[in-house]
Copies of this chain bind each other. A is one copy, B any other.
Amino acid sequence: MVTIADVARHAGVSSSTVSYVLSGKRAISAETKRRVESSVQELGYHPNAGARALAARRSHIVALMVPLRTDVYVPVMMEIAIAVTTAARQHGYDVLLITNDEGPAGVRRIGASGLADGLILMDVELDDQRIPVLQSRGIQAALIGLPDDPGGLSCVDHDFAEAGALCADHLADLGHREVAFIGYGTGVYTRHAGYAERTLTGFGERAEQRGLRFVHRPCDGTYESTAGTLARILADRPETTGFVVQNEGAIGPLLTLLRSSGRIVPEDASVIALCQAQLAEQFAPRLTSVTGSAQELGRVAVEQIMRRITAAGAGERPVDERVLLTPELTVRASTGPAPRTGSQN
């Protein structure tokens, strides 16, 4: 194992000089710097993480707490996790993966052990139990998801209300009058996931403003569930010509079911999906979608936590930022003008 002392000896300087070259915290002459750097290269030196964390009281690790639950679309989680990891590396940080099932105790563990300098929490609920722990222990954190009361923490999320509103606007612009919102399973609403509630609210308000009649139906994304949901919608409101789907799992079944009910997309029915572009393009016809960047979400969370860690390290009070990312509507082949005549069952 190569230590800082080995590098110092090799370069003919003291180990503190090596440390200062590496951290840049003191002025070092160009010549010394060069010698040290080439010794580092030559010996393949990497500072011992434990020793560094102990001495500097900073681990250069951020913890990322991911949900175990699967009612969130998994590829999006993964995309965020990867974006966080990549962004963190650019700050010289590594990412520790911990799961939601550790709950508030996990947050306490990470904070008290100094394993991580900060936490990024995913899938934050409106009234999240982990937040008070964070606050009382003074653990630096960035939340992906917007709780009711972020109280001093930084948060970033998609602007789901805007996403919902974009869907309503697009359908209204195309002349639809009766639309249906196919949401997540009821469980997602009862546990108060912000994204589900906010999308629905944003959609509902804009729909009302635009004079759209609409129904909201929860749907857990299986084929059967989607079939039941669609059947109910068409029975209650046979004039429905616009569909907004938020549950990714329901998209495929919905398209199949519309087709087998004799409805052509987009001539007879328009479909907007709230999902990743990649997924929207996988269907036939390609789906008009409203999409936010999962990567951006991860990247912003990392920037936020880095600023907080830096501030806290300098003895300043970290500022609590609140960022909402604007989603985009991409028109593809699944939406079109509302049919002139009534229903066509």
Contact = CB atoms under 8 A, between A and B. Distances in A.
A345 to B, nearest CB: 21
Contacts of A9: none
B49 A114 contact: yes
A78 interface: yes
B54 A82 contact: no
Interface string A100-114: 011000001100111
Interface string A48-70: 11111110000101001010100
Interface centre among A51, A222, A283 (most CB of B within 10 A): A51
Contact of A59 (B46, B50, B86, B281): B50
Contact of A113 (B49, B95, B99): B49
Nearest to A257: B284
Interface stretch (A12-20, A179-187, A191-199, A248-256): A248-256
Nearest to A137: B44
Given A113-B46, A115-B94, A74 B78 contact: yes
Contacts of A97: 64, 81, 85, 94-97
Contacts of A112: 1-2, 44-46
Nearest to A221: B282
A54 B61 contact: no
Interface in A275-305: 281-284
A221 B81 CA distance: 24
A75 interface: yes
Given A85-B98, A112-B44, A223 B282 contact: yes
A77 interface: yes
Point out which of A44, A99, A115, A222 has the most chain B C-beta atoms below 10 A from its C-beta.
A115
A109 B46 contact: yes
A85 B63 CA distance: 12
Contacts of A223: 282-284
Interface of A: 1-2, 44-54, 59, 61, 64, 66, 68, 74-75, 77-78, 81-82, 85-86, 89, 94-99, 101-102, 108-109, 112-115, 221-223, 249, 252-253, 256, 281-284
Given A222-B282, A223-B282, A252-B283, 14 more contacts: A50-B114, A53-B53, A54-B54, A61-B96, A64-B97, A68-B82, A74-B74, A75-B78, A81-B97, A89-B102, A94-B96, A97-B97, A222-B281, A252-B282
30 contacts: A1-B112, A46-B109, A48-B113, A49-B53, A49-B59, A49-B114, A50-B59, A61-B96, A64-B97, A74-B78, A75-B75, A75-B78, A77-B78, A78-B78, A81-B97, A82-B99, A85-B97, A85-B98, A85-B99, A86-B99, A94-B98, A94-B115, A95-B96, A96-B97, A222-B281, A222-B282, A223-B283, A252-B283, A256-B256, A256-B284
Give 3 nearest A-B pairs by CB, closest first.
A50-B53, A46-B112, A50-B54
